[in-house]
Amino acid sequence: MSKCDFEKLLLEAVDEGLSSLGEASKQAIYFHLEKSFNIKKKEIPYKIDTFAKSIEKIFGLGANFLEIFIMKRLYEKIGGVFEWQENTEITFTKYVTVAKRNFVEKKRVKTTEDLVNGKNQRRI
């Protein structure tokens, strides 16, 4: 899996998070993100800070619950363990950045291990 696989998993997690609000609400939010904040659905992984700020403008303090749900789904998808500490001052954007770094590192280590163990080698 490459870095762009992370973006796909992130977009799936966002989609599932918004789906928790109902299908009609999810579609309305995507429409609002595009028209009011200039963020198309497929651009969310590349504009995560703008996405987070937009969600916070739409939902106010309620955005925290949605962001936590999205983070939980993301960590399930990348095979990590999601731990949320109430006293932590980490933002949604930072959490996604850390998840991406962990995902890329984990894949890099796995690829290196596969090469060392002879996997992915072509036989002639």
pLDDT tens across 68-120, in order?
Answer: 999 989 988 888 655 656 656 678 898 888 888 888 887 776 655 555 566 65
Query: Do residues 92 and 71 make contact, with C-beta atoms less than 8 angstroms apart?
Result: yes
Q: What is the dihedral of CA 111, 112, 113, 118, to 10 degrees?
A: 90
pTM of the model: 0.77
* Distance (Å) of CA 119 to CA 108, 110, 123: 14, 10, 11
Q: Which two tokens stand for residue 69?
A: 């749900």
* Distance (Å) of CA 2 to CA 17, 24, 57: 23, 32, 32
pLDDT, mean over the chain: 83
Q: Which two tokens stand for residue 15?
A: 């989609």
> Domains in the chain, ordered, with CATH?
3-116 (1.10.1200.200)
More confident residue, 123 or 113: 113
